[in-house]
Amino acid sequence: MPPVTLALVVANVVGYLIQSVAPDAVVALFALWPLGSGAATSGQVSFEPWQLVTYAFMHGSLLHLGFNMLALYMFGGAIERVFGERRYLAYYFVCVVSAAITQLIVAGISGSIYPTVGASGGVFGLLLAFAIYFPHNRVMLLFPPIPMPARVFVLLYAALELYLGVTGTQEGVAHFAHLGGMAGGYAMLRWSRRRSSAYRRR
């Protein structure tokens, strides 16, 4: 496993272990809380700027952690080898933060005061990058076990997330945050390509 991907996996596992020792205190401080949540909950919890990043190192369950770390291992390692360590790390956190901002917007519109946790925003950004750089690589679904090209897999997954988010079919999952992670990753890739093109023209 490449070093940055390994470090991210270890950090997530450590974050989950710390969370399991003092869940209430850790969630109150480091989960992503909606803007204005302090006033809505008599000041017991509130949004803080660091939560735009820290929420991504916490998870709702061991299964949640396991799925995200499996995806980080499967897709992150390949992208780290393509990007290099520094660009890969920057890309991952752009996806994490863009997912958080998207979730804050959605929570503000819906009036939700529930916290958000999980590395899924960063993982979805990695899925997008994998589909762009390895579009024909086969990805095997777990349920059902059907292999398909990465590009098709990501398009279908994004469409499903949009459908579930709009319809509210699967409550308790931040579907729009997942799409926000993808959107942030796409924006960074577009910006990087334009900058590279500008340098070449010079």
Torsion sign across C-alpha atoms 174, 158, 68, 56? negative
* Radius of gyration, CA atoms only, the chain: 17
Strand residue runs (E) in the chain: 138-140, 147-149
Helix/strand number for the chain, H first, E second: 10, 2
> In CATH, what is the architecture of 3-201?
Up-down Bundle (1.20)
Per-residue pLDDT of the chain (202 residues; tens, 9 = 90+): 899 999 999 999 999 999 999 888 899 899 999 887 765 555 577 888 999 999 999 998 898 899 899 889 989 999 999 999 999 999 999 999 999 999 999 888 877 778 889 999 999 999 999 999 998 888 776 666 778 788 888 888 788 777 777 766 666 678 888 889 999 999 999 888 777 665 555 5
The predicted structure's pLDDT at residue 199: 55
Q: Amino acid identity of 129?
A: A
- Distance between CA atoms of 164 and 93, rounded to whole angstroms? 25
Beta bridge partners of 139: 148
Q: Amino acid identity of 189?
A: L
CB count within 10 Å of CB 108 equals 12
> 37-65: b or e for each residue (b if 16 or more CB lie within 10 Å)?
bbeeeeeebbbeeebbebbbbbbbeeebb
The predicted structure's pLDDT at residue 186: 92
pTM listed for this prediction: 0.87
